[in-house]
């Protein structure tokens, strides 16, 4: 089995070790579905996607998803670049501050 967790199981990704109340580096969840895994990217709406890896959430004001299926290649450089940009945005005050909404 390529995804060892049951469908609906969420696994949090954190870029660095931090205390539970410091969410500046919190950027994504992994969500297992029956036939794929979604990387749910928080605050990704203002992050560029030049390689077109976003597969869902395009109408969402803040979040996006990237779906992966068994056997599909993962564009690790593009996904890593998105994580780095989201984390930088969070450290700079978040998307609301960056877009002048907060």
Identify whether the C-beta of residue 74 lies closer than 8 Å to the C-beta of residue 68: yes
Does residue 22 lie within any of the structural domains?
yes
Residue 80 DSSP class: H
Does residue 5 lie within any of the structural domains?
no
State the residue range of the domain holding 16.
Answer: 10-98
pTM, whole model, 2 decimals? 0.70
Residue bearing the bigger pLDDT, 67 or 1: 67
Confidence of residue 66 (pLDDT cuts 50, 70, 90): very high
- How far apart CA 31 and CA 77 sit, in angstroms, is 21
Q: How many domains does the chain have?
A: 1
Confidence of residue 16 (pLDDT cuts 50, 70, 90): very low
pLDDT of residue 61: 80
Does residue 4 lie within any of the structural domains?
no
């Amino acid at each position: 089995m390529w995804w060892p967790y049951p469908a609906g199981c969420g696994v949090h990704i954190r870029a660095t070790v931090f205390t539970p109340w410091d969410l500046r580096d919190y950027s994504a969840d992994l969500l297992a579905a029956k036939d794929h895994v979604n990387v749910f990217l928080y605050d990704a709406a203002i992050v560029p996607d030049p390689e077109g890896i976003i597969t869902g959430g395009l109408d969402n004001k803040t979040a996006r998803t990237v779906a992966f299926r068994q056997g599909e290649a993962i564009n690790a450089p593009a996904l890593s670049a998105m994580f780095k940009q989201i984390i930088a945005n969070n450290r700079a005050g978040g998307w609301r501050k960056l877009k002048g909404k907060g």
